[in-house]
Amino acid sequence: MGASFSSRLGSSPSSSSPSSSSSSSLYASDRITPQVAALAELQGFADTVSRCIGACYTRCLHKHAEVALDVSEMSCTDRCVAKYFQVHALVGESMKALASGPPEEN
């Protein structure tokens, strides 16, 4: 990937565009492998969990003297996590819809 990337850096932007057929071979080596996609998905999920923990901890857990959670903290945490992932899924669906473009009219 490094050699093809550096060769593209040396070319002028007007001489090759991603939409031209001659430059499509330049991008062939830049395809995402299943391993890279899986790693990106795992990192994204870990980031989502970390953000969820931070948000729900701040919102629901206030007493640090207790070792165990009380009933109100448990129910708040359950609701918070459920809402967080529900909103995350809705945002993901909206982003997919935006990325795919406007729906075709028939």
**Has residue 3 got a pLDDT over 80?**
no
Q: Give residue-wise pLDDT tens across range 7-62.
A: 443 444 444 444 444 445 445 557 889 999 999 999 999 999 999 999 999 999 88
- CB 30, CB 4: distance < 8 Å: yes
CA distances from 12 to 8, 17, 27, 35, 46 (A): 8, 9, 16, 32, 39
CA distance 14 to 22: 13
Higher pLDDT, 106 or 22: 106
Identify the residue whose tokens are 């923990």: 53
CATH assignment, 32-101: 1.10.287.810
Indicate the domain borders of the chain: 32-101
